[in-house]
Amino acid sequence: MHDDRSITEHRLRRVLKERVKPAVHSRAVPLTVERWEAPGEPVPVAEGLAAGYEPCAIGDPWGPAWGTTWFRVTGTVPEDWAGRTVEAVLDLGFDRMMPGFQCEGLVHRADGGEVKALNPYNDWVRVADRAEGGEQVEWYVEAASNPVLVDHAATYEGDLPTSGDQPLYRLARMELTVFETEVWELVQDLEVLYDLMTQLDTADARRHGILRALGAALDALDLADVPGTAAAARGCLARVLAVPANASAHRISAVGHAHIDSAWLWPLRETVRKVARTASNMVNLMDQHPEFVFAMSQAQQLDWIKTYRPELFERVKKKIADGQFVPVGGMWVESDTNMVGGEAMARQFLYGKKFFLDEFGIETQNVWLPDSFGYTAAMPQIVKLSGSKWFLTQKISWSQINRFPHHTFWWEGIDGTRVFTHFPPVDTYNSDLGGAQLAHAARNYREKGTGSRSLVPFGWGDGGGGPTREHLARARRQRDLEGSPRVRIERPDAFFEKAHAEYADAPVWAGELYLELHRGTYTSQAKTKQGNRRSESLLREAELWAATAAVRVAGYAYPYEDLERIWKTVLLHQFHDILPGSSIAWVHREARETYAAVREELQGITLAAQQALAGQGTEELVFNCAPHARRGVPAGGAGRPARAGEPVTVEERHGGGHILANGRLLVEIDRRGLIVSVYDLEARRETVAPGAAANLLQIHPDFPNMWDAWDIDAFYRNRVTDLVELDRLEVTGSGPRAATVRVTRSFGRSEAVQQITLRAGAKTVDIVTEVDWHETEKFLKAAFPLDVKAERTASETQFGHVHRATHTNTSWEAAKFEICAHRWIHAEEPGWGVALLNDSTYGHDVTRDVRADGGQTTTVRLSLLRAPRYPDPETDQGSHTLRFSLAPGAGIGDAVREGHALNLPERVVRGAGPVAPLVAVDEDAVVVEAVKLAEDRSGDVIVRVYESRGGRARATLTAYFPVAAAVESDLLERPLAGTAVGVPTPEGRVPLTLRPFQIVTVRLHRA
């Protein structure tokens, strides 16, 4: 037989596009359209309905950037359409090639109730399955004119004050039509078979059988009367659609999904509307298709529906009760996991799962994080302690260099906890369920021979409207179809149960799931990151002192509601495009304003609690909220600090510069203002590598290949400028308690002022760097070349630390050229180490070199600032204050202690006398992470601790208040069948036994 494949395929594509698809909606009549431009921000529905509308015509431009236009659409069903299926087609001017990221609409009835959303692949509204002639139609469309910001070019459209006022869209189509059901079904048949056919080998007889059936269907179709001949064409396809799948076909659990970034190329307020639009479409689709299952992951988004669309929320609740609308994930938002602090990660699950339990009575079992930019090695333990048991991600498929070896596996965290994990081989969280993607999932699946199933999240995301009736049609046709994987729409938990039962002995991946991409997100938008870190610290303070006051001070009321509200605000801003710095200017401007308000409110809560504890008096009290004692003030207590130790001296250095000394460290700053020596007098050991200089500011070009705010590519290192030119060098503070050298440098259009301080009794060199930053596409780092032979470094992560190699023996190690650390990073050789501490920096890099003298230099650098142009062209422009410290001779325990001290400054309050801690732990390796009152308002005290050094620990937790019982609890403060917590003594002492990096939550029932 002659090979005529290409002719038939080309014929099919043209006929589908030009004849069959246009015939789905036939016999169109225009609707009457009127419009009203809402001034400023979106208005309540009632205001939109009551507005004064003006005439509008098809082709009219509408919608300036970030505007809202209300359209009133009216019409009458023609008499001769009686009994026909009638739909309106309401096209706002959609780009069909881009299902999200553009204009969107939500259709309302005249009574204000929502009907459904409008999107590029969902621009229809059903009038009636069997219409009545003369039936009246009246709808109100709330249309959002969001600018298209996806082309990765610098634009000022990403913030309201700098965006344009010209219309972005043109009204394309507003018509009543007859919906030709048989034609629509034919479209689905043709598309499914065509997609399947093109994935089959050209030597496969099945491919040729489908080709011949498609040709026969096209022959049966009268292009002048598609509706009248669609059934005959479908008859030609029935046989090939009825052939069952092979017995060994890959099995796909298809889960409806609409990945909605809680902010990204739009502000938070627009996400509120995106979520409502999507949810309205989903409940409508469920009404028509009882087999449809839709998973929604972020408690915050459901809470928005509850707050802003209560009538829609009730519909959602009913579908949740019916089992179709499925809450998943258990977190408040799909957060970043690299930079979120340990306690904040615990609260993501506490408030997320609590919302699902309180509102729906559902305990979510899986963690759904398809799009975050890498996953902390602390996550498995946190997942388990939240009461969840499964984890799903997809983003690791984006890695540039190394292909992850598993799709279904056990993920082992830093403490040894394992969680059953799936990484969908379809390599997208917005699948169209087309033949190409399903075939890719089956081919790509790496567990062949042992596992046989994978999960596919399907539906248009980010405002694209979620799954459509077309997705469900594809799923039905591919449920049992030769050449295709078997597709079954089902709940995520059903997939995980089956996958676990089938593959309980899946391989183990230990440690972090590092994404070999988007490494710049550890640094972009420094003020957002600083706001997050400082908010986490302030929340710790506020809870600690408020809990202490609530137990100790009569009449003091613990601010439950305020703290929960603030926590949820901070958790929202940990979303994986806010905290990583990859959102538009509007998002980060609002984040800065929000963090400022959070700071003011938390400082107020903290001060009120401290004043209640201190009482009336004039004694100057230092409150220490850090988990370790300092200057004689106990952790979690207040008192008068002890004397600091040997006074600090300042001398002129030969050749220029200054020498600072305090009996523990000898610090030399040369005439360039660089630290050329930090001598550990106790260990008789030099910190700075020979011939090198520490605290060296370096600047690199920063123009990655694609994702500006997200990425740094390794070639940035090929060019570097050391900032050694000096404007001024001066001693600005010299006294027995501290000495400070101030260094001022100018570079490009920017200036950096650094204050290098040595304090009495301290074994850290403290550096405050103030940068007035006005560079573009540049990367600023601070380098510390250390005279340390370190084979690996330790970086603080949530509730512990991770080790990473300093060498690049393999491509896996070489790919980690930029890494994330929280409050500290530590390098050591046996017997001596150095910690580099920070108060709001996350990005770091570590390199090693062997010197001519045979020694090794391990250079640790902090990534301070970037200046990408997309999506915010003014990223990081302006003034910044960054704090970091060098701690010579530090072990891991020292790094933990000093890291907390830098991030949790002392506060001074006048009062009557010392304040004893509410609780104390007698082992420094066991860190108290949080002290608070229980969420259930019982008055019980919750204490969360963790082992911080990577070893086993025995400790005693002492409660300085009457305790009736001590119970080990999960993150939701429910009893846990654990063995870490012993029976409290009458004196309130609770024995604890912790494995390495174990997190233990103790619920202390007050007597």
Looking at the annotation, which residues are catalytic?
371
Q: How far apart are CA 390 and CA 255, in angstroms?
A: 15
Q: Would you state the structure tokens that stand for residue 142, as one six-digit string?
A: 């709330």
CB 599: neighbour CB atoms within 10 A? 14
From the list 652, 684, 640, 645, the residue with the least C-alpha distance to 910 is 640
Cα Rg, the chain, nearest whole Å: 31
Residue appearing with tokens 């890498």: 374
- Tally the C-alpha atoms within 13 A of residue 138's C-alpha that lie toward its C-beta: 7
Nearest-5° Cα angle at 441, 435 to 442? 90
The values of phi and psi at residue 734, to 5°, are: -145, 110
**Total residues found in the chain within this entry:** 1007
Q: How far apart are CA 181 and CA 227, in angstroms?
A: 9
Phi-psi region of 664 (alpha: psi -120 to 50; beta: other; left: phi over 0): alpha
Residue appearing with tokens 């003030």: 633
Residue appearing with tokens 């963790």: 946
Amino acid of residue 409: F
User: Going by C-beta distance under 8 Å and a sequence separation of 6 or more, which residues neighbour residue 446?
Assistant: 405, 406, 407, 425
Q: How far apart are CA 136 and CA 311, in angstroms?
A: 24
Q: In 310-407, which ranges are E strands?
A: 325-331, 366-368, 390-392
- Cα dihedral 319, 323, 324, 325, rounded to 10, equals 60
Q: Would you state the structure tokens that stand for residue 397, as one six-digit string?
A: 């498929």
The residues pairing with 453 across neighbouring beta strands, listed in sequence order, are: 251
The values of phi and psi at residue 460, to 5°, are: -75, 135
The values of phi and psi at residue 25, to 5°, are: -110, 110
Residue-wise over 232-256: b if at least 16 C-beta within 10 A, else e?
A: bbbebbeebbeeebeeebbbbbbbb
SS3 680: strand
CB 796: neighbour CB atoms within 10 A? 26
User: Going by C-beta distance under 8 Å and a sequence separation of 6 or more, which residues neighbour residue 4?
Assistant: none
Percent helix, strand, coil in the chain (nearest 5)? Answer: 30, 30, 40
From the list 85, 102, 84, 101, the residue with the least C-alpha distance to 93 is 102
From the list 977, 976, 1004, the residue with the least C-alpha distance to 990 is 1004
On whether the CB atoms of residues 658 and 669 are closer than 8 A, the answer is yes
Exposure of 999 by Cβ count < 10 A (0-12 exposed, 13-18 middle, 19+ buried)?
Answer: buried
Q: Would you state the structure tokens that stand for residue 379, as one six-digit string?
A: 């996550």
User: Going by C-beta distance under 8 Å and a sequence separation of 6 or more, which residues neighbour residue 228?
Assistant: 222
On whether the CB atoms of residues 20 and 185 are closer than 8 A, the answer is no
Q: How far apart are CA 614 and CA 964, in angstroms?
A: 27
Q: How far apart are CA 162 and CA 157, in angstroms?
A: 6
- What is the full DSSP assignment across 235-262? HHHHHHHSPPPPTT--EEEEEEE----S
From the list 162, 908, 341, the residue with the least C-alpha distance to 606 is 908
- Tally the C-alpha atoms within 13 A of residue 666's C-alpha that lie toward its C-beta: 12
